[in-house]
Structure 1
Amino acid sequence: MAITITIEINRDFTVPASFDKVFDLLSDVPASGSHFPKVDQLVEIGDNTYRWEMEKVGVDKHALKSVYACQYVSDKSAGSIVWTPVKGEGNGLVSGNWKIKPVDDGTHIVFTTEAKMTLPLPSLLKLAISPVVKHEFNALIDAYMKNLKAEFAS
């Protein structure tokens, strides 16, 4: 028994840092990932592909751990960083991209991601658990964006 929950997130903001500084940090997955909260391990598995192992969320036997892997492709001239899911790695498929462009007061950043998490829970719990999982994922992304904004403001 398992349920799959799909989460889509979009963020759009401007930071007072140069395009080069923003692109260089965001395209360096370990450096960027160091700003993401609740990462247990970020494991390089080759070919600019990384497995994200998140800290467990929940209590005792009801704690869940999200694990997924993505391959990253950066294109500085296009101002894009794209990640695609690696099937067979963990319990999630995560895809998305950064779109980065210079503007008068710094760099404008658009973040888009979609996660499909498969959790070992009975289907009866999907209605109750889905909003909790979505809230937790949004909170992690919000903390990540806050950490990146602070980094780019320094």
Structure 2
Amino acid sequence: MAITVSIELNRELEIPGSYDEVFDLLADVPRSASHFPKVHKLTDLGDNAYRWEMEKVGVDKHAIQSVYACKYHSDKDAGKITWEPVKGEGNGVVSGSWTIKSKGDNATAVKFQTSAELTVPLPSLLKLAISPVIKHEFNSLVDTYMNNLKKAF
């Protein structure tokens, strides 16, 4: 038995760095991922695709681990970085984008959008109870990631 939890997130923030510095950091997946909390392992699959293995959450047989892979595309002239799921990798399907705009020499506006579907091996009876917990955890991780990116500049 398994349940699938869907998550949609949108964030906007201003980073105190130049457009080039911010774009280069976000387009460099391993560098950007180093600011994301609770990443257990990031594996380069080649061709700008990466498998994300997050730390396990929970205890013993009730521990949940998110594993997913994405292929990344960046277009510096358009100010866009996108990612799409790599089929057959892990228990999550994740896609999204960064939209990046210069706001002067030392300020850059970024928009983060992501959609995720996580399938976890739990009885469907628990979906109502566990969905809000998973969504809260994901929101918390992304908020910490945004704060860490700001601190990087």
Q: TM-score, normalised by structure 1?
A: 0.97
Aligned to 1:119: 120
Aligned to 1:134: 135
Residue identity in the other structure for 2:9: I
Q: Is residue 22 of structure 2 the alignment partner of residue 3 of structure 1?
A: no
Cα RMSD of the aligned pairs, angstroms, is: 0.7
Distance in 2, Cα, partners of 1:50 & 1:15: 25
SS in 1 for 2:133: helix
Residue identity in the other structure for 1:149: K
- Displacement of 1:87 in angstroms is 1.3
Unaligned ranges ≥5, structure 1: none
- Displacement of 1:4 in angstroms is 0.4
- Displacement of 1:16 in angstroms is 1.6
SS in 1 for 2:145: helix
Q: Deviations over 1:48-105 (max 9, x none)?
A: 0000000000011110110000000000000000000011100000000000010136
Distance in 2, Cα, partners of 1:75 & 1:67: 26
Is the contact made by 2:7 and 2:115 (CA closer than 8 Å) also made in structure 1?
yes
Runs of 4+ off more than 3 Å: none
SS in 2 for 1:43: strand
Is the contact made by 2:92 and 2:116 (CA closer than 8 Å) also made in structure 1?
yes
Q: Is residue 109 of structure 2 the alignment partner of residue 90 of structure 1?
A: no
Aligned-residue sequence identity (percent) comes to 67
Distance in 2, Cα, partners of 1:4 & 1:36: 23
Distance in 2, Cα, partners of 1:14 & 1:138: 18
- What is the aligned length? 152
Q: Deviations over 1:26-68 (max 9, x none)?
A: 0000000000000010000011000000000001111011000
Distance in 1, Cα, partners of 2:34 & 2:26: 11
Residue identity in the other structure for 1:16: P
Aligned to 1:108: 109
Distance in 2, Cα, partners of 1:15 & 1:43: 27
Spell out the pairing of 1:1-154 with structure 2 (5 A cutoff): 1-104=1-104, 106-152=107-153
